[in-house]
Chains A and B, each alone.
Chain A
Amino acid sequence: MNTPPSLSRRDFIRTAGAATLSALAAGYPRQLLAEEGKLDKPKPTADSVIVLWMAGGMAHTETFDPKHYVPFEKGIAPSDFLSTFPSIDTSVDNIKFSEGLEKLARVMDRGTLIRTYTAGDLGFILHSRHQFHWHTGYAPPQTVAAPHLGAVIARTLGPLNPVMPAFINIGQRFDVGESEEVKAFTTAGFLGSEYGPFNIPFPDEAADSVRPPGGMTPARFQNRDKFYKKLLGASPISEHGSSYQKDSLVRSLDNAYRLLDSPAAKAFDLTLEPLENIRKYVPEYEPGRRFNAKQDRFGAKYEEQMIGRFGLGCLLARRLVENGARYIEVTTEYIPFLNWDTHENGHTRAAAMKRQIDSPVSQLILDLEERGLLNRTLIVLASEFSRDALIEGRPDKKVKDQVEVPDKIQDMKFYGMHRHFTDAGCVLLFGGGVKRGYLYGRTADERPCKTLEKRVVIEDLHASIYHAVGISPRLSYEIEKRPFYVTRDGKGQPMLDLFA
């Protein structure tokens, strides 16, 4: 085999395109209905999707759907308050936010707020089951491995930029609590690992994931590839001719090297971003600040120490979208009892989490808008369910409590939304064709602060996301001779009212 020392740009585009096409064309499992021409394909209003995942259960009453606020004082009863923060105005008249989200409040006129997302009825609550349900549209366990939303999009649409992994997952480690449960849905499932997540647990280390392995210079890395090609050419196995297995192996290595060698690889390197831009996402950022696994994970002030990690993830997402990423998820990270999983110290943790998200999410919207990308990028901010100070589950279907709530609160640590509430929840949508300054759904102003109008379930939310990128909710893939629909049983209905 004769390999040129470096591919010309034209060659590069040609081979990448061919590889992508063949991967898509040959990909098993096959699509149903679409192939048979029985499926309407919605006209896409977005090319990319960014899901901003509020892991652990973000209380609607503490964020985007504030209710009656009573400040903390000793002896207060949990039934006295619905929110632990005052509400603030936003740039949209009929929408109020909770204090601490001032920057997001100013950009609310660019997007749509859903206040009535209601999680599935899965009984005694386990975060990772609800997260599985949110991300796959199916409640676990399933008899076949259900694919993640990002994998469905990756499989169906392919990468936008051929060198860029089509499904990039930022911010989740897999060596913290319930990690196997998180892995169970952070997967392409039966669609095959080609469409699985490219995981970047720490955004500040993202460059490492597309860089030569530790200690290897770029020159040596390039040289290793050249040497490999020569060795491959010299190998008598070439006499066996091409085979599916051999071609797929060689092609996959080419693809990997191509990403690592492409301009798109620079998108992963946050050190290339001017400091002033980083500070728009993370105001307290100091150069060289690292967020890594060595940090004390379970300290009392964990959330405050970690402010900035999610922000860098958002910045990374912007850089990746600019370089043709298809589906990106940035998570605040699910760790049991930390981040949005406010079982204790709910008020102070929620305050820290709002600081974590307010600057970067609003800046991401502004940056994409400024670059003319917001129109074609759908941003979805969501969580697996909401929280309440008293109600576990939903009002008519209460489930086993997991937190002790005292009748009278003497200690500040009991002031907050410590139980899991599934009858309402907020989803923010920006860009990608959704309405601007629009409010969808209404919840009760008295406890239980449940959904009153326009209930949204996961099937319809997914159908709407798929609609935006031009995928029918009835699309199905064949597995074990049966159809597996991208929304459960093909029943998801896109909420057309959300789109401009």
Chain B
Amino acid sequence: MALQSKPTQVNPDCEKFKVRGSRLRVQASVLAFVFLALGFSTRAALTPEQIKSLPPPAAEKVVFARDIKPIFESSCIKCHARGRSKGGLQLDTRATLLHGGDSGPAVVPGKSQQSLLIELVSGLDPDNVMPKKGTRLTPTQVGLLRAWIDSGLQWDPKITFARPAPLNLTPHLPKQKVSLNSKINPIDQLLKPYFEKTKFKSPQVVEDHVFARRAYLDVIGLLPTTPELDAFVTQPARASASTLPVRATLVHHLLSENAPYTENWLSFWNDLLRNDYRGTGYIDGGRKQISKWLYSVLNTNLAYDQFVSRLVNPTPECEGFVKGIVWRGTVNASQSPSMQAAQNVSQIFMGVNLKCASCHDSFINDWRLVDSYGLASVYGDGALEMFLCDKPTGQKAMATFIYPELGEMDPKADRSARLKRVAEIMTGPKDGRLSRTIVNRLWARFFGRGLIEPVDDMEQVAWNQDLLDWLAEDLVANHYDLKKTIERILTSRAYQLPSVDLGETTPKDFVFRGPGIRRMSAEQFRDAIGQITEVWFAKNEISSATNQQARAALAPADPLTTALGRPNREQVLTTRASAATTLQALELTNGETLAKILHKGAANLASSSLAPDELVEQLYRQSLGRHPSAVEKSLARDLLGDPVHKEGVEDLLWAIVMLPDFQLIY
């Protein structure tokens, strides 16, 4: 269930800033001290003894890129570059270094023994040593710095430690030209050079019945019925050249099935938006559902920019999302409702993880406490006081969007104006991230892995950047119609390639070869069983009026869907775990929920007075989209008996729905 994350070296300093509740008072003073010490305090000149005790300057010629840059990178830039300026000092460029910090210039070119930088890194004052955290510089490193300063502070101007411009933030077209008039789907046009470069000879596309099953499950979350499948695979004039248009027609048709489409995608959005949760927060009225609203906007395919606009600047029927969860009692400052809104808006729509930076400047990315609080202040009652690791700092954060370059915010505007402004910025013409984040999520859903992975960290280069850019710009060009994007993807040849084994986690050197083998979601599994057994959930107030029976997404979680990975939605969840686990298997093997469904379903089927062979034929076609083989028929016949007995049907049903062919999307 976790967001997939790649192995990284974790900065063990993270914990140093955290304060234990029970020892809060003791550590508060230490914390305050750390902060003062990070600044360059005023000082007297060094005594001759002190100068003598400094490590001597390195004798050899110093090369910035080779000798100095690594020192900066390992010991300085975490606090003094990439957007951070502890003590006012920024090491971004030679100029900012010369400019110095709150205590004046950090270096005096040509005079290392008079440079504050050298004084601090050599540890003359044990109470004020740089770096504050981590290991001290070695005498050799200090010597290199001295020689570098003494020789005039040579700095290769191409090297900068400034915060780099964010990736995937602004709208831009792919480098490769795409023809919309070609018979070849733009996605395939964009993949052509990729396949050539990675030496991949694209195989035949999958057979019709495999394609149909994939498309049905991906669009409406249901299996094709036998008549539907028959109609599709036996369409006339099926020369191989005409394969794509026929399939495109099917995709188009499925996308027009509004209610089934909605009832499939509800689960995806509920997971993302933490909706349809029945727990925490409700005791004290701190939680609000948006299910009815969500159903209606999916059903009418509200344009994605408007969808987001409504969620971030809500009317009462959809305000549950930014209201978040209000717990009884005292909660950590990083979990206040406004901060929850900041975290969730950033993660879901912009692919930005602010969680670390809600407590302290992040150690894993460039996000700072002030960035998180800036967005939280948009949702709060005016500028919020910042808390560092749950300790008030006395500083307030002005309301601003996490990417100020996308649009300015008047921090003095009232809350409703601020919310309106956030919606404008996020859906405005300068924002290329909104579209990139959602097309990447869609791609990941259909292919088992995103163009960027993890999907919640959009500040990375995609494995096919042009493809990401094109899909995003195409979405915008189509007025943010998500169904158009889905149609583009599902009618591509890439989507129709044979499925591949992605393993549990995908390696860094991932190469794209086709859709990954995926597992049905809990809701899809339950709905598919509903289709076979005609055992559904009771009608629900949210579902469409015509449905007398409800699909799994509309029903409360039960032990079966919970075991199969339906989350409790206390946290935003953007990728469900797909691995089968023993606890799941126990639920499937002897759990009451499935047993009861199959028991009822078997009774329905046994009463149809079909001959054993007919029943097997019917079940195989509906469940697996194919005819049973002679071997399968004979095995099933033995189990069913003749005339068929109910227990036999029940066990056959169980065995079929346990088959990988059934549970996996190939």
**Chain A residues with a Cβ under 8 A of chain B:** 26, 28-30, 32, 118, 120-126, 128-129, 139-145, 165, 178-181, 183-184, 187, 190, 192-194, 196, 198, 208-216, 220, 223-224, 227-228, 230-232, 234-237, 240, 242-246, 248-253, 255-257, 259-260, 399, 455, 457, 459, 476, 478-483, 485, 488-491
Residue on B with the closest CB to A132? B280
Q: Is the interface of B mostly helix, strand, loop or mixed?
A: loop
Interface string of B552-582 (1 = CB under 8 A from A): 0000000000010100101100000111111
- CB of B179 closer than 8 Å to a CB of A: no
With a cutoff of 8 Å between Cβ atoms, the chain B residues found around residue A123 in the complex are 328-331
With a cutoff of 8 Å between Cβ atoms, the chain A residues found around residue B580 in the complex are 245, 248-249, 251-253
A193 touches B5 (CB 8 A): no
A227-B651, A234-B635, A485-B15 known; A246 vs B664 contact (CB < 8 Å):
yes
Known: A184-B280, A257-B589. 18 other contacts (CB 8 A): A126-B327, A141-B280, A142-B571, A165-B586, A180-B277, A193-B1, A194-B583, A198-B586, A213-B589, A231-B632, A245-B664, A246-B660, A246-B664, A248-B504, A252-B581, A255-B585, A256-B589, A483-B10
Contact of B635 among A192, A230, A236, A252 (CB under 8 A): A230
Complex Cα gap A482–B658 (Å) = 36
A194 touches B505 (CB 8 A): no
With a cutoff of 8 Å between Cβ atoms, the chain B residues found around residue A251 in the complex are 580
B582 touches A165 (CB 8 A): yes
A129-B327, A482-B363 known; A253 vs B517 contact (CB < 8 Å):
no
A183-B568, A184-B279, A244-B501 known; A491 vs B583 contact (CB < 8 Å):
no
- CB of B507 closer than 8 Å to a CB of A: no
B5 touches A29 (CB 8 A): yes
With a cutoff of 8 Å between Cβ atoms, the chain B residues found around residue A455 in the complex are 22
Complex Cα gap A231–B540 (Å) = 37
Complex Cα gap A252–B589 (Å) = 10
Residue on A with the closest CB to B7? A30
Identify the stretch in B163-171, B352-360, B398-406 within 8 Å (CB) of chain A at 4 or more residues: B352-360
B283 touches A178 (CB 8 A): yes
B328 touches A252 (CB 8 A): no
Complex Cα gap A223–B353 (Å) = 50
B517 touches A143 (CB 8 A): no
B659 touches A235 (CB 8 A): yes
Residue on A with the closest CB to B500? A243
B635 touches A231 (CB 8 A): yes
B635 touches A248 (CB 8 A): no
A-B contact pairs, 24 of them (CB 8 A): A29-B2, A120-B21, A121-B330, A123-B331, A125-B329, A143-B335, A145-B570, A180-B282, A180-B568, A184-B280, A184-B570, A193-B1, A198-B583, A234-B635, A237-B666, A249-B664, A251-B580, A253-B580, A260-B589, A260-B590, A478-B7, A478-B8, A480-B2, A480-B353
With a cutoff of 8 Å between Cβ atoms, the chain B residues found around residue A230 in the complex are 635
Contact of B518 among A245, A248, A253, A478 (CB under 8 A): A245
Complex Cα gap A485–B656 (Å) = 42
A141-B325, A180-B568, A183-B568 known; A236 vs B629 contact (CB < 8 Å):
yes
With a cutoff of 8 Å between Cβ atoms, the chain A residues found around residue B581 in the complex are 192-194, 252
Interface centre among B505, B581, B663 (most CB of A within 10 A): B581
Complex Cα gap A256–B591 (Å) = 11
- CB of B364 closer than 8 Å to a CB of A: yes
Residues of chain B from 82 to 101 with CB closer than 8 A to chain A in the complex: none
A144 touches B2 (CB 8 A): yes
Contact of B328 among A28, A129, A165 (CB under 8 A): A129
A234 touches B329 (CB 8 A): no
- CB of B396 closer than 8 Å to a CB of A: no
B355 touches A480 (CB 8 A): yes
Min CB–CB distance B575 → chain A (angstroms): 11
A29-B2, A181-B280, A491-B15 known; A252 vs B517 contact (CB < 8 Å):
no
B364 touches A481 (CB 8 A): yes
Residues of chain B from 486 to 520 with CB closer than 8 A to chain A in the complex: 501-505, 517-519
**Chain B residues with a Cβ under 8 A of chain A:** 1-8, 10, 12, 14-15, 18, 20-22, 277-280, 282-283, 325, 327-332, 334-335, 340, 343, 353, 355-356, 358, 363-365, 454, 456-457, 501-505, 517-519, 563, 565, 568, 570-571, 577-586, 588-592, 594-595, 599, 626, 629, 631-632, 635-636, 639, 647, 651-652, 654-656, 658-661, 663-664, 666
Contact of B582 among A213, A256, A399 (CB under 8 A): A256
Residue on A with the closest CB to B505? A28
B503 touches A244 (CB 8 A): yes
Complex Cα gap A150–B1 (Å) = 18
B660 touches A250 (CB 8 A): yes
B595 touches A129 (CB 8 A): no
Interface centre among A213, A237, A479 (most CB of B within 10 A): A213
Contact of B658 among A140, A253, A479 (CB under 8 A): A253
Interface centre among B279, B365, B456 (most CB of A within 10 A): B279
Complex Cα gap A243–B500 (Å) = 8
With a cutoff of 8 Å between Cβ atoms, the chain A residues found around residue B654 in the complex are 224, 228
B8 touches A481 (CB 8 A): yes
A140-B327, A181-B280, A214-B595 known; A231 vs B10 contact (CB < 8 Å):
no
With a cutoff of 8 Å between Cβ atoms, the chain B residues found around residue A252 in the complex are 580-582, 584-585
Min CB–CB distance B278 → chain A (angstroms): 5
A144 touches B328 (CB 8 A): no
Interface centre among A142, A165, A223 (most CB of B within 10 A): A142
A122-B330, A192-B577, A249-B580 known; A232 vs B2 contact (CB < 8 Å):
no
A-B pairs, 4 with minimum CB distance: A180-B279, A123-B330, A123-B329, A213-B595
B5 touches A235 (CB 8 A): no
With a cutoff of 8 Å between Cβ atoms, the chain A residues found around residue B661 in the complex are 235-237
Residue on A with the closest CB to B332? A139
B584 touches A244 (CB 8 A): no
B355 touches A143 (CB 8 A): yes
With a cutoff of 8 Å between Cβ atoms, the chain A residues found around residue B659 in the complex are 228, 231-232, 235, 237
Complex Cα gap A212–B589 (Å) = 8
